[in-house]
Structure 1
Amino acid sequence: MSRRSLVKLSLGAVVLGALALALGCASKPAKAADKPAPATPPVVLPPLPPPEKLPRVMLGIDVLEAEGFKAVAGKKIGLLTHPAGVNRRGESTVDVLRRAPGVRLVSLFAPEHGFDGVVKAGENFTNTVDKRTGLPVYALYGQGLEKSKAMVKGLDALVIDLQDIGARSYTFNVIMSHAMEACFTNGVEVIVLDRPNPLGGLKVDGPPLDPENISGVGAYPRMPYVHGLTMGEIALMTKNGSGAISSLKLTDAVRAKGRLTVIPMRGWTRNMRWPDTELKWVPTSPNIPSFEAAVGYAMVGLGTQHSPWEWGIGREYHFRGISYPKKTPDEIIKAMDAYKIPGLAFVKRPGTDRDGKPITGVYVEVTDWDAWHPTELSFYMHKQAAKWSRLNPFAALTTNEQRSFRIHVGSTAWLSSLQREGSKVDVPLFLKNWAERAAIYQEQTKKFWLYPWGDPAPAAAPGKK
C-alpha cells in the first residue's frame, strides 16, 4: 500500500470515529441531575453616591456664591461675622470669601461675644489676629463711632453676615447699625448677607422701645421686643426708614449717599421657623446653643432681668427652664398655670446642677405657636416675683439697675407701674397696648420686607379684618 493510500485511510478512520462518538453522545439521555450552564453573572457596580442633601433655604452667602461673587468682585473687603456665619453646607463665610476669585478679604470684625463666639455677654474684648487665617480681627462691640470709622477706613466694602435670633436686645442688629453708620460716613459700601429670623417673619410682640431707652441693647425706636424682621430687612430700614423707626443719627444727605447692598435668601418665607429651613443651628453665643434656646430668650429673657427668677435647669435648658429661690417645681407650675398664658405649658424635667448632681426643674413648652405671644410670660414672671417677695424687688432697684431694666424691656411705663403696684400690676392692659403698637410697627415696616408670607398665606394680615 502506498504512503498516500495509508494517509487517506487514517484520515477516514479519524472522521468515522468522530462521527460515531458524536452519534453515541447524542443517543444518551440527559441525566436528571444535569443543570443548564450558568448564565454570565451580571456586572455589579458600586452604588452611586446619593445626591447631596442640602437645606431648602439658600442663605445670602449661598446666593452670593451662586451669582459668581459679583457683588464683591474686585473689592477690598472686611467681614463682620461670628461662628454662626456659615453657608448652608456649614462652611464658614470667612473661608468662602477667601477662596472667592477676585476678592480681597483683608480684615475681620467681631460683634458681641467676639469673633470666636465665646466671650460672655456684655464683656468687652480687644482687637486681635485670627490664628487660622492671619487676618486682623477688630472689636466693633463696645467701640465708639470714631474708633469704628478708623477700623473700616480703606475698605471698599464691609460684608455683614450675622445670625440674629429675632429679639431686639440681642445686640447684633445694634452692631450692624453701628457699622453702617461708620461706613456711610467713610464712603464704604455695606453688603449684608441675609439670614433667617429663627422665630419667623410674622411674629411681632412685646413692648416697643421708648426713644429715651435707646442704648447698646436697643437702637431702633418703637421696635417691639420680637420684631419679625431679618437682618437684611433691618439694614434696609436703617438706611431708608424715617427717623421714627430708623437708628441712624445721620443727616439725610449722608444717608442718601450711603451705599447698601442686601443679598436676599432664596427659598425662605415669613411663615418659616428655624426647623422649617432644614439648616443646622450653630450657636450664636455661649447661652444660645440651640433654636430652643433662641425661642426661650424671647420668652423668659426679660422675666429674669433684675428679678429673683433664674433661667435654666442647672446647666441645661438655656432660657427654657425657670426657677425661683425656695420654690419647688410644683409651686412654680401651680402659680404659672393660674395665669392661663396661651400657647404654653409648664412641666417638670430632670437636669444637672453646677456640681453635677441630679435636680428637677420647670421646663416651658410652646404647645401652640399661633396662640403663643413670646414675651407674655416674662411680665407674669415679674408680677409673680412681686407676689412672692416680702418687699417688691423692683421697687428696690438701684438707679443703674432701673436703667438696665428699662433699656432691655424698652418700656419706662411698665417699670413705673411695677414699682408702684407690685403684684397688682395690670398685665393684660399693658399686653393689649403693646400688641396694638406692635401691629402698627409691622405695617410701617412691611415696605422693607424682602420675602412673601409663605404657603398657605394667612387669611388676613395682622390688624386687618
Structure 2
Amino acid sequence: MRQKVFLKRCCSFFFFAYLILAPLWAHAAQPVLLGIDVLEHNQFAHLRGKRVALLTHAAGVNGEGKSSIDVLWEAPQVNLVALFGPEHGIYSKEKAFAYIKDGRDKKTGLSVYSLHGKHRKPADYMLEGIDVLAIDLQDLGTRSYTYVATMKYAMEACFENNVEVMILDRPNPQGGLIVDGPPLDKDWEGFLAPIDMPYVYGLTLGELASYLKNEPGLLKITHNERKHGKLTIIPMTGWHRRMPWSATGLHWTPTSPNIPSVGAAVGYPMTGLGAEIGSFRHGIGSPYPFRLLSFPGKSPQELITALRRCNIAGLDYKAITYQDKQGRSKEGVYVIVRDWNRHRPTELSLYMMQLACTWSADGNPFAKASKEKKTMFNKHMGSNAWWKEISTRGSHARVQHFTQLWDKEARTFQNKTKKYWLYPI
C-alpha cells in the first residue's frame, strides 16, 4: 500500500514537473528561424506580385547557410529585379572604407547598386521600378558598424520614393539586453554614427528600424514621408534577448574581412575603440581579430596583470601563442568573457586608452594626435566629454565616472525603446 502511494506521489510530482518545465524545454530546443526563413516558410506571401530589390551581403543567408540572394532568385513567387550592397560589398570581401562601384551580379545578371561608393543613400533612379526593398544585413549591435547607417539611409530614400521597406530580421550578437557605452554628441553624427544612441544599443535591426520609423526626428525626411512610409518587419522565431549566438544553432558567416567569427563580433565593441589611438593592437591580422591584445614592450603577463588591476566585471585574460601569416610565432592576450550578464563591452577600451597613456614613452598619445586621427576617433566614440577627459587627464582619466554616467543614459535609452521590442527576455 505504501509503495502504491509512493509511486502515485512520484507520478504526480513528475507530471507537474513536466507541466512546468515542458515549455522551458520547448523554448530551449526551438530552433531560431531567421527572418528570411520565416519569409520562405510563409511562401513569400509578403512579396508576391511585387518588384523586389534586396540589400544584403555575404552574411545574408538563411538558417542552412544559403544566400538570401539565391533564396529569392530561385523562388518562383518572387520577382527579384535588383541588388544593393553595403560597405564591404554584397560578397563582403572589400576592405573597410573601400570605394565600391556599381556592378552586375555574375550569377543572376542583376544590377548591383553600391551604397559605399558614389552614393551612401540610394539615388532616386536606383529605386525606379521597385515596389519593395528587402534588407537582410547581419549587424553587430554596435553603432559604428556601418550597416546601421546603410539601413537608415535606405529607409529615408525608400520613404521619399514611396517604396516599401522590409527588414528580414536577425539576432544581435551582443544579445538583446546589453546597452552600453557613450551616447552620441550631435557634432559627430554621420555614417559611423547615424543616430544618438549608446554605442552598444541592444536591439535587432528590425527593432531599430521600427524605432527610426516611429520616433519623430530620427529620419531626415518630412513628417508626411515618415508617417506614410511603409515598413514591414519579418521577425525571427525562437530567439530571445538573453540568447548568445552560441545558443542559436546558427553558423556565423563573416560580415566583413575582419569579423570572421562570432568571437570577433563580440570583441568589436570591447577593443575597437581602445586601439584607435595609441600603441595597443587588437588582433587585426591574427586569427583572433578584436580579441587579441598586445602592447609594444609589454609581455603578455605584464598586460594581464595590468588589465586585472582594472577590475573589469565579467572579463578575464589568457596569454596565447599563435603563428602569423609568415609562420612566425607571436604572443598576445586573449580577452575572455566570463560573465555575459556582467560585462560592459566598451569598458575595456576605456582602460586600454588609460594604459596607453601610462605606457607611452612620448607622453599622452591623444594630446598629440593629428587632426585626422582625432576626427576619426571621435566619429567612432562620439563623445566630446570623453575626448577632453582622455586628452587632458590621460592616465588619470576617470573611467568609472564615465561608465556610471553612460550607464544611466543607456538605461534611459533602453526604457525608451522597449516598446519596439519584438522578442521576449
Give yes or no for TM over 0.5: yes
Give the corresponding residue for 2:404: 432
Q: Any conservation in 2 of the 1:55–1:277 contact (CA below 8 Å)?
A: no
Q: Any conservation in 1 of the 2:101–2:117 contact (CA below 8 Å)?
A: no
2: distance between equivalents of 1:145 and 1:297? 23
Classify 1:103/1:234 alpha carbon distance in 2 versus 1 (closer, same or farther; 3 Å). same
What's the CA shift string for 1:408-448, capped at 9, x where partnerless? 01111101111111111110000000000000000011111
Give the corresponding residue for 1:103: 78
2: distance between equivalents of 1:60 and 1:147? 23
| 1:448 equivalent in alignment to 2:420 | yes
Give the corresponding residue for 1:92: 67
The residue identity in structure 2 corresponding to 1:224 is: P
Equivalences, count: 396
TM-score by length of 1: 0.83
| 1:321 equivalent in alignment to 2:292 | yes
Q: CA deviation at 1:150?
A: 2.3
**Structure 1 spans left out of the alignment, 5+ residues:** 1-53, 454-465
What's the CA shift string for 1:208-228, capped at 9, x where partnerless? 11122111111011x111110
Q: CA deviation at 1:142?
A: 4.1
Give the corresponding residue for 1:378: 349
Q: CA deviation at 1:112?
A: 0.6
2: distance between equivalents of 1:134 and 1:450? 36
Q: SS at the partner of 2:414?
A: helix
Q: How does 1:18-417 map to 2 (within 5 A)?
A: 56-144=31-119, 148-221=123-196, 223-243=197-217, 246=218, 248-312=219-283, 315-390=286-361, 391-417=363-389
2: distance between equivalents of 1:100 and 1:352? 44
Q: CA deviation at 1:298?
A: 1.3
The residue identity in structure 2 corresponding to 1:327 is: K
The residue identity in structure 1 corresponding to 2:246 is: P
Q: SS at the partner of 1:311?
A: coil
Q: Any conservation in 1 of the 2:273–2:349 contact (CA below 8 Å)?
A: yes
Q: SS at the partner of 2:303?
A: helix
Q: CA deviation at 1:147?
A: 5.4
Q: Any conservation in 2 of the 1:329–1:360 contact (CA below 8 Å)?
A: yes
The residue identity in structure 1 corresponding to 2:337 is: V
1: distance between equivalents of 2:216 and 2:156? 15
What's the CA shift string for 1:143-164, capped at 9, x where partnerless? 4467533212221111100011
Deviates more, 1:326-335 or 1:82-91: 326-335
**How much identity, in percent, do the aligned residues show?**
49
The residue identity in structure 1 corresponding to 2:128 is: K
1: distance between equivalents of 2:290 and 2:157? 34
The residue identity in structure 2 corresponding to 1:296 is: G
Q: Any conservation in 1 of the 2:73–2:108 contact (CA below 8 Å)?
A: no
What's the CA shift string for 1:67-114, capped at 9, x where partnerless? 121111011111000111111111111111112233210111000101
1: distance between equivalents of 2:278 and 2:408? 27
The structure with the larger Rg is: 1
User: Which runs of structure 1 show a deviation greater than 3 angstroms over 4 or more consecutive aligned residues?
Assistant: 142-147
1: distance between equivalents of 2:119 and 2:95? 20
Q: SS at the partner of 2:400?
A: helix
Q: Any conservation in 2 of the 1:206–1:431 contact (CA below 8 Å)?
A: yes
Give the corresponding residue for 2:15: none
Q: CA deviation at 1:307?
A: 2.5
Q: CA deviation at 1:314?
A: 5.6
Q: Any conservation in 2 of the 1:204–1:228 contact (CA below 8 Å)?
A: yes
Q: Any conservation in 1 of the 2:321–2:332 contact (CA below 8 Å)?
A: yes
Q: SS at the partner of 1:190?
A: strand
What's the CA shift string for 1:8-61, capped at 9, x where partnerless? xxxxxxxxxxxxxxxxxxxxxxxxxxxxxxxxxxxxxxxxxxxxxx97001101
- Higher helix content, 1 or 2: 2
The residue identity in structure 1 corresponding to 2:84 is: F
Q: CA deviation at 1:177?
A: 0.5
Q: SS at the partner of 1:192?
A: strand
Q: CA deviation at 1:242?
A: 2.9
Q: SS at the partner of 2:334?
A: strand
Instruction: Give the root-mean-square deviation of aligned CA atoms.
Output: 1.5
Q: SS at the partner of 2:123?
A: helix
**Structure 2 spans left out of the alignment, 5+ residues:** 1-28
2: distance between equivalents of 1:423 and 1:76? 57
Classify 1:313/1:114 alpha carbon distance in 2 versus 1 (closer, same or farther; 3 Å). closer
2: distance between equivalents of 1:92 and 1:267? 21
Q: CA deviation at 1:165?
A: 1.1
Give the corresponding residue for 2:390: 418
Q: Any conservation in 2 of the 1:140–1:148 contact (CA below 8 Å)?
A: no
Q: Any conservation in 1 of the 2:43–2:77 contact (CA below 8 Å)?
A: no
Q: SS at the partner of 2:310?
A: coil
Q: Any conservation in 1 of the 2:86–2:114 contact (CA below 8 Å)?
A: yes
Q: Any conservation in 2 of the 1:313–1:351 contact (CA below 8 Å)?
A: no
What's the CA shift string for 1:92-137, capped at 9, x where partnerless? 1111111223321011100010111010111111011111111111
The residue identity in structure 2 corresponding to 1:438 is: A
